[in-house]
Amino acid sequence: MNLIERLSDWTLFSIIFIIIFAVLGSAEGLRKYTNKPPESTRKFIHIFVGLIICLCPLIFKVNYQIITLSFLFIGINAYLLFSEKFESMHVTSRKSYGTIYFPFSVLILSYFWWDKPISFILTILVLTLADPIAAIFGAKERIVFTPWVDQKSIRGSLAMFSSSFLIIMLGTDILSKYYGSAFLLPFPILFGLGVFTALSATLSEAVSCKGSDNLSIPIATFLSYEIYLINYTHGTLFQLLSWTLLSIIIFTIANKKNSVTINGSITGYLLGIIIFGSGGWKWIAPLVFFFISSSILSHLKTKVASRRDIAQLLANGGIATICAIVYLFWDSTYSSVLYLGAIAAATADTWGTEIGYYSRKSPNLIFSNKKVPKGTSGGITYLGTFGSIIGGLVIGLIGELSLGIENLIFPITIAGISGSLYDSTLGNYVQGKYLCNKCNNIIEERSHCNDPTSLISGSRWIDNNMVNFLNTLVGAIVAYLIWI
């Protein structure tokens, strides 16, 4: 019996905790002694801590220790960040919350999927090694693009993809042999696994900002890796790859038609991969209908159609994606109902807004007789309400036909209209409204006319995207409660 086997898990936990803190303190002391910029030691700390986390499935028998470690460092890093201490960890050329996102992503993976050590190790390795490699190669690149907030480089993205591909391919083969897997993947399947997973990792890094890649990369990498392998073992890999190609075509066209922004296209692709990979064509059908019908209705209007961005995609599709993940790993019928309820609420709200635009009468604020201009949050019309009902009804029909679950039409329709009305209620009473100091218009954005606006009512923390997110959450809950 070796030394590690003789030590208890909590003793090993204490040793790892002390080692991490010793390295952090040494790095900060060395940085101050040599008068180097914080960025010079931040990458070293990122890699060192990441490699230690990768070893945890090989060291600990259960996940209690790594969950405890994650909670500790979420709190410690949050304190150090907001107190502006330990520059070696936190100070970068831009504001970053990456040191908080990192342990949070480890917490999620270790809590829900500790029983998948190969996927866990490779996911953390991609974040630990591929992300810094991308940053190094992209540091002096002149050809840059801005998919969302932070600038990215072509060279950095290529480095991210290449290094992620190699980590997945080589790591899968090595770890499969180490853990004594019942079968090894054929080379073409292994190659496809590397490409599929590396693409998701690279795209999730591209649309990150303020260190959110420390959360988005592990989650996107893990889910893509598992989805590919699950579909391979279920014999549906060809369908998954067909959807992948079709999804790329759909969002490329949508971006050229100004239906979505670049970051919206990337987000839509990633959410679609998770949903299709979880439930196949029968699950993706309601979402495709929502996206296409909403885009068509938006472009039929005479005014300029809005382009959906990453925040809008996450607000409307976040709850649905979580339901798909639950279905993928825990195979619950309830998740199907929750999923359709969320999609119905998003569809009903969008249809109500777009169809209500054609009403000849100005909308009234919900629970009020006050007339407001078209497009005002909280405003409803009879025509718009009818559109909401039809939108929820169609999702119910599609869901019952595609999923084969009986008695879905009524609860999904009610879920749609309930979510839509809840959206209008929040829009009227809770959503933040601002006054533009230049044009004196009442708007919903924190800036207008290139100038900060003044909050006049509602909450600063509740914007249109948050309202949409809560709308889909209510739709999911209502569908579930009525259906059971």
| Percent of the chain surpassing pLDDT 70 | 92
Q: Residue 292: its pLDDT value, please?
A: 87
Average pLDDT, the chain: 87
Q: Residue 138: its pLDDT value, please?
A: 78
Is the residue at 242 inside a domain? Answer: no
Assess whether pLDDT exceeds 80 at residue 222: yes
Assess whether pLDDT exceeds 60 at residue 473: yes
Is the residue at 383 inside a domain? Answer: yes
Is the residue at 434 inside a domain? Answer: yes
pLDDT in tens, 307-352: 788 989 999 999 999 999 999 999 888 999 999 999 999 999 999 9
Is the residue at 200 inside a domain? Answer: no
Non-local CB neighbours of 433 within 8 Å, separated by 6+ positions? 377, 442, 443, 444, 455, 456, 457, 458
Query: Is the separation of the CB atoms in 387 and 354 below 8 Å?
Result: yes
CA distances from 337 to 179, 222, 277, 412 (A): 37, 25, 18, 8
Q: How much is the average pLDDT of 157-186?
A: 92
Residue 434's beta-bridge partner residues? 443, 455
204: nearest Cα among 137, 148, 260: 148
Cα separation, 356 vs 361, whole angstroms: 9
Q: Residue 217: its pLDDT value, please?
A: 95
Query: Is the separation of the CB atoms in 281 and 397 below 8 Å?
Result: no
Is the residue at 422 inside a domain? Answer: yes
Q: Residue 219: its pLDDT value, please?
A: 96
Q: Residue 301: its pLDDT value, please?
A: 62
CA distances from 93 to 164, 316, 431 (A): 25, 32, 33
Q: Can you read off the two tokens belonging to residue 460?
A: 């600063």
Is the residue at 298 inside a domain? Answer: yes
261: nearest Cα among 325, 307, 317: 307
Give the structural domain span for 367: 282-484
As a whole number of Å, the end-to-end CA separation of the chain is 54
Q: Residue 86: its pLDDT value, please?
A: 58
Non-local CB neighbours of 230 within 8 Å, separated by 6+ positions? 277, 328
pLDDT in tens, 412-432: 999 999 999 999 999 888 888
Cα separation, 359 vs 376, whole angstroms: 14
pLDDT in tens, 64-112: 999 999 999 899 888 877 776 655 555 555 567 888 999 999 999 999 9
Give the relative orientation of helices 131-138 and 39-59 as an angle to the nearest 10 degrees: 160
Is the residue at 1 inside a domain? Answer: no
Question: Between 448 and 380, where is the model more confident?
Answer: 380
Q: Residue 303: its pLDDT value, please?
A: 54
Alpha helices by DSSP H, 179-309: 187-206, 213-233, 237-256, 262-279, 281-300
Q: Residue 389: its pLDDT value, please?
A: 94
Q: Residue 3: its pLDDT value, please?
A: 54
DSSP secondary structure code for residue 144 in this structure: E
Residue 260's beta-bridge partner residues? 308
Q: Residue 56: its pLDDT value, please?
A: 92
Q: Residue 302: its pLDDT value, please?
A: 52
Q: Can you read off the two tokens belonging to residue 270?
A: 């990633």
Identify the weakest region by mean pLDDT among 30-39, 224-233, 270-279. Answer: 30-39
Assess whether pLDDT exceeds 80 at residue 442: no
Question: Between 249 and 97, where is the model more confident?
Answer: 249
Please provide residue 152's backbone torsions phi and psi, each rounded to the nearest 5 degrees: -125, 160
Q: Using alpha carbons only, give the angle 238, 240, 241 rounded to the nearest 5 degrees.
A: 65
> Number of structural domains, the chain?
1
Identify the weakest region by mean pLDDT among 28-42, 189-203, 335-349, 376-390. Answer: 28-42
Sign of CA dihedral 256, 258, 263, 269: negative
**pTM of the predicted protein model:** 0.90
Q: How much is the average pLDDT of 39-67?
A: 87
Is the residue at 245 inside a domain? Answer: no
Q: How much is the average pLDDT of 230-244?
A: 96
Please provide residue 175's backbone torsions phi and psi, each rounded to the nearest 5 degrees: -70, -30
pLDDT in tens, 100-149: 999 999 999 999 999 999 999 999 999 999 988 988 887 776 677 777 77
